[in-house]
């Protein structure tokens, strides 16, 4: 059995754990599919490159709003795809090559499963190898969840792992799911010319977001897509390229292609964790403490395989914590998941941090609510935006910010002052009155929402 000081399973955010401070150790990385993980190869980075192209296409198509004569001829899908993945695939191979050429890292390209505490069997293309390690980091991420009705149909379907690499956008696309992946990719394909139908079991899209965001985004989506809300797929029939989806109300959806975006599940079930004694939650996520330690000494986990919030910036933060804790067991760092911001890069862009209005109700809180519309500020006039807004929630009496929710252009950027304020304990009055807010910039939207709170701001 080959022995290592440290084995990292997964070369996405797990790969970020290892830096030159580990050079004195015998380190191994195990990766069975993609160096760079989901984010680089099929997730946040390529999807945002596609989403920005969709934004450009929509800007051209709507140029008449700004008294500009322009015509959108086409989104050149194959050129777009090749530009995006030509760059990202090269980055993946560069990262893979750098690890293979590292003098202190052994790379195993294959799948791993536990055979005992801190013992692994790695299945390679030409056989297998057994290894043990003093410390192990599990960072194998997650994968798209596929409903049984789809999986058992025997008919083709796409997921976020595959759909951006297809040869051409379909004429008719059916999307299962109403979360952020479904919202982003629906807009990408609609901008590329596809007719889109969305089937979602909840009554609103983006239902986990603040109710105002969810309600207004659903209203906008209804004017663009064929929405089948409160519905589930019970059967998938037809043939490849001519699919027929049957819903639980007996209605039908015809589509040339099916995109499944109903959520993601942890890859922990592929590791034989029971052999190591590592505990998991009911949903499959690995149990970790505040320091990212599993229930087995010397074994850590990070990212989507364990995180309560499956986002890349969370995995990156956890990777930094794990890297520190591996080297400094006498001075452990903890991961804080209380104020994780998130964004949805659809049309319009959406961003959020902290509690929603419904969270406050569930906790018996009655917050102050401040709202400002893009249409209320000068740059919003310049953009002719009539649907966007910023909503802030604050504690009565103290002005402590509890949550913030934006829908509109550059929402993911505009939310950052609110993220900073909440993280650093800056109250709404101080944030609104202490700094200058540039006029007439979009950031005035945040200032105006803060001023809309029923607080004593003074002159």
Specify the pLDDT at position 133.
98
Specify the pLDDT at position 301.
98
The two three-digit tokens of residue 248, written as one number: 């639980």
Dist. CA 220–CA 452, nearest whole Å? 25
Instruction: Please give the C-alpha separations between residue 236 and each of 3, 156, 183, 308, in angstroms, as whole numbers.
Output: 49, 10, 22, 32
386-430 tens-digit pLDDT:
999 999 999 999 999 999 999 999 999 999 999 999 999 999 999
Please say if 439 is a catalytic residue: yes
CA atoms within a 13 Å half-sphere pointing along the CA-CB vector of 51: 22
Region 317-331 average pLDDT: 98
Tell me the whole-structure pTM to 2 decimals.
Answer: 0.96
* Structural domains present in the chain: 2-143+265-327 (3.50.50.60), 148-262 (3.50.50.60), 348-451 (3.30.390.30)
Residue 10 near residue 151 (C-beta atoms within 8 A): no
Question: CA 167, 175, 144 angle in degrees (round to 5)?
Answer: 80
Dist. CA 300–CA 92, nearest whole Å? 24
Dist. CA 347–CA 5, nearest whole Å? 48
pLDDT over 80 (residue 114)? yes
Q: Smallest Cα–Cα separation from 145: which of 272, 287, 267?
A: 267
Region 59-73 average pLDDT: 97
151-188 tens-digit pLDDT:
999 999 999 999 999 999 999 999 999 999 999 999 99
Q: CB under 8 Å to 375, separation ≥6 — which residues?
A: 381, 385, 386, 388
Positive or negative: CA dihedral 201, 205, 210, 216: negative
The two three-digit tokens of residue 284, written as one number: 């499959």
Catalytic residue among 52, 328, 337, 439: 439
Which pLDDT band, with edges at 50, 70 and 90, does 457 fall under? Answer: low
The two three-digit tokens of residue 446, written as one number: 């945040």
Please tell me whether residue 123 adopts helix, strand or coil conformation.
Answer: strand
Dist. CA 111–CA 8, nearest whole Å? 12
Residue 245 near residue 231 (C-beta atoms within 8 A): no
Region 87-106 average pLDDT: 94
Phi, psi of 402 (to 5 degrees): -105, -30
Which pLDDT band, with edges at 50, 70 and 90, does 366 fall under? Answer: very high
Residue 388 near residue 408 (C-beta atoms within 8 A): yes
Phi-psi region of 329 (alpha: psi -120 to 50; beta: other; left: phi over 0): alpha
Q: Give the residue carrying structure tokens 């003098």.
A: 103
Question: How many CB atoms are located within 10 Å of the residue 239 CB?
Answer: 9
Specify the pLDDT at position 245.
98
Sheet holding 242-247, edge to edge: 233-239, 242-247, 252-255
Specify the pLDDT at position 69.
98
Residue 7 near residue 108 (C-beta atoms within 8 A): no
202-251 tens-digit pLDDT:
999 999 999 999 999 999 999 999 999 999 999 999 999 999 999 999 99
Dist. CA 319–CA 255, nearest whole Å? 41
In the chain, the percentage of residues whose pLDDT exceeds 70 is 99
Question: What average pLDDT is seen over the chain?
Answer: 97
The two three-digit tokens of residue 22, written as one number: 């580990």
259-309 tens-digit pLDDT:
999 999 999 999 999 999 999 999 999 999 999 999 999 999 999 999 999
Q: Give the residue carrying structure tokens 């999807």.
A: 47
Specify the pLDDT at position 147.
97
Dist. CA 186–CA 87, nearest whole Å? 23
Specify the pLDDT at position 459.
53
Dist. CA 7–CA 107, nearest whole Å? 10
pLDDT over 80 (residue 458)? no
Specify the pLDDT at position 200.
98
Specify the pLDDT at position 137.
98
Instruction: Please give the C-alpha separations between residue 225 and each of 144, 212, 228, in angstroms, as whole numbers.
Output: 23, 20, 9
Instruction: Please give the C-alpha separations between residue 246 and each of 89, 153, 396, in angstroms, as whole numbers.
Output: 37, 12, 49
Dist. CA 254–CA 74, nearest whole Å? 24
Dist. CA 43–CA 312, nearest whole Å? 9
Region 340-344 average pLDDT: 98
Residue 176 near residue 150 (C-beta atoms within 8 A): yes
Specify the pLDDT at position 455.
84
Which pLDDT band, with edges at 50, 70 and 90, does 454 fall under? Answer: confident
């Amino acid at each position: 059995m080959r022995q290592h000081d440290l084995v990292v399973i997964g070369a996405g955010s797990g790969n970020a754990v290892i830096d030159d401070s580990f050079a004195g150790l015998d380190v191994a990385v195990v990766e069975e599919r993609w160096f760079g993980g989901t984010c680089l190869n099929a997730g946040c980075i390529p999807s945002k490159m596609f989403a920005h192209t969709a934004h450009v296409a929509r800007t051209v198509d709507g140029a008449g709003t700004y008294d500009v004569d322009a015509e959108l001829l086409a989104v050149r899908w194959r050129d777009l795809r090749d530009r995006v993945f030509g760059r990202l695939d090269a980055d993946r191979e560069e990262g893979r090559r750098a690890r293979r050429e590292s003098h202190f890292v052994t790379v195993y390209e294959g799948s791993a499963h536990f055979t005992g505490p801190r013992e692994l069997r790695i299945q390679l293309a030409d056989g297998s190898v057994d290894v043990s390690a003093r410390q192990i980091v599990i960072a194998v991420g997650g994968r798209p969840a596929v409903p049984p009705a789809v999986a058992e149909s025997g008919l083709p379907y796409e997921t976020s792992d595959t759909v951006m690499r297809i040869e051409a956008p379909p004429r008719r696309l059916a999307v299962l799911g109403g979360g952020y992946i479904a919202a982003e990719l629906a807009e990408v394909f609609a901008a590329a010319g596809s007719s889109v139908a969305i089937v979602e079991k909840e009554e609103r899209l983006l239902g986990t977001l603040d109710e105002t965001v969810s309600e207004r985004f659903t209203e906008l989506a209804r004017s663009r897509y064929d929405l089948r809300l409160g519905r589930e797929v019970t059967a998938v029939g037809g043939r490849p390229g001519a699919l027929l989806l049957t819903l639980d109300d007996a209605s039908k959806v015809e589509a040339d292609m099916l995109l499944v975006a109903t959520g993601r599940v942890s890859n922990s079930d592929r590791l034989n964790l029971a052999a190591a004694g590592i505990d998991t939650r009911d949903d499959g996520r690995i149990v970790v403490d505040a320091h990212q330690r599993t229930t087995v000494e010397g074994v850590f986990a990070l990212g989507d395989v364990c995180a309560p919030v499956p986002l890349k910036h969370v995995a990156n933060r956890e990777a930094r914590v794990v890297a520190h804790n591996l080297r400094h067991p006498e001075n452990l760092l903890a991961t804080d998941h209380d104020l994780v911001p998130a964004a949805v890069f659809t049309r319009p862009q959406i961003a959020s941090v902290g509690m929603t209005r419904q969270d406050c109700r569930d906790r018996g809180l009655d917050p102050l609510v401040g709202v400002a519309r893009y249409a209320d500020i000068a740059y919003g006039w310049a953009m002719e935006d009539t649907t966007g807004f910023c909503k802030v929630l604050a504690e009565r009496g103290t002005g402590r910010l509890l949550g913030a929710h934006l829908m509109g252009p550059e929402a993911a950027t505009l939310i950052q002052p609110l993220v900073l304020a909440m993280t650093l304990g800056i109250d709404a009055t101080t944030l609104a009155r202490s700094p200058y807010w540039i006029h007439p910039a979009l950031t005035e939207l945040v200032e105006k929402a803060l001023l809309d709170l029923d607080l004593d701001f003074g002159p």
